[in-house]
């Protein structure tokens, strides 16, 4: 019950923030801020960091998470507890990102692009799917682990990875900061709604997730 209330409250807050952010982006109110952040980030560009960001670009693609989710799904030991929730969340985040990008139709920034990217930019798929994937994995880990120290370490590493993924998209010139923030909000939204659905939908309760 407490988990459902927390998730519902989170969903309402996320929807509100996402709508406010997107409206301001559409109205051009945050263009100057986006440009100023990119200028600061671009000052960090160097060969070593570029290689790291390009590596993150590849491992953060949606199909990488889908492959990992599929592996959890086909292994009998992890199918119910990990495979089903993770696969559901990954599919949901990919589908929602596609719909949102078409709906808002916000172009990518006109910056120097270190890597190629096509399609619309808002919200960032890398940020959104990464947040959703890491988010549900972290939820499942915390749900099944009693070691407090390990919980803190894994949570911190998860947050760092998500933030680095977002930073890499700005660094590579393919997304604005608002694209990234929108991706984070939408990714957490997917996790929160999925948790409510997966653990309250009666046909799924028989699976004892």
Residues 35-56 have pLDDT tens digits of 999 999 999 999 999 999 999 9
Domain ranges of the chain: 2-205
3-state SS, residue 147: coil
The Cβ of residue 57 has, within 10 Å, a number of other Cβ atoms equal to: 19
Stronger pLDDT, 108 or 81, i.e. the higher one: 108
Q: Is 51 exposed, middle or buried (0-12, 13-18, 19+ CB in 10 A)?
A: exposed
The average pLDDT across 168-183 equals 97
pLDDT for position 205? 58
How far apart are the C-alpha atoms of 84 and 99, rounded to whole Å?
23
The percent of residues in the chain predicted with pLDDT above 90, rounded, is: 80
pLDDT for position 198? 83
User: 133 near 65, Cβ under 8 Å?
Assistant: yes
3-state SS, residue 21: helix
**Residue 116 DSSP label:** -
Find all residues with CB under 8 Å of 201, minimum gap 6, and list them: none
pLDDT for position 80? 86
pLDDT for position 10? 87
How far apart are the C-alpha atoms of 203 and 59, rounded to whole Å?
34
- H or E segment at 45? none
The average pLDDT across 121-147 equals 95
Closest CA to 172 of 29, 58, 31: 58
Mean pLDDT, the chain, rounded, equals: 92
């Amino acid at each position: 019950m407490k988990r459902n209330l927390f998730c519902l409250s989170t969903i309402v807050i996320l929807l509100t923030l996402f709508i406010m952010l997107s409206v301001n982006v559409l109205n051009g109110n945050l263009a100057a801020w986006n440009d100023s952040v990119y200028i600061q980030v671009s000052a960090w560009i160097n060969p070593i960091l570029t290689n790291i960001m390009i590596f993150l670009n590849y491992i953060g693609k949606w199909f990488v998470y889908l492959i990992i989710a599929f592996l959890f799904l086909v292994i009998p030991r992890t199918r119910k507890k990990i495979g089903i929730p993770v696969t559901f969340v990954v599919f949901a985040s990919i589908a929602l990102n596609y719909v949102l990008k078409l709906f808002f139709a916000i172009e990518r920034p006109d910056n120097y692009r270190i890597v190629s990217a096509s399609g619309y930019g808002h919200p960032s798929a890398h940020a959104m799917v990464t947040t959703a994937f890491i988010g549900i994995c972290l939820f499942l880990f915390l749900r099944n682990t009693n070691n407090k120290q390990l919980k803190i370490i894994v949570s911190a590493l998860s947050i760092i990875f998500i933030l680095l993924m977002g930073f890499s998209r700005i660094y590579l010139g393919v997304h604005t900061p608002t694209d990234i923030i929108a991706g984070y909000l939408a990714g957490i939204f997917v996790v929160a709604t999925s948790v409510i659905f997966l653990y309250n939908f009666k046909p799924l309760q028989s699976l004892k997730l």
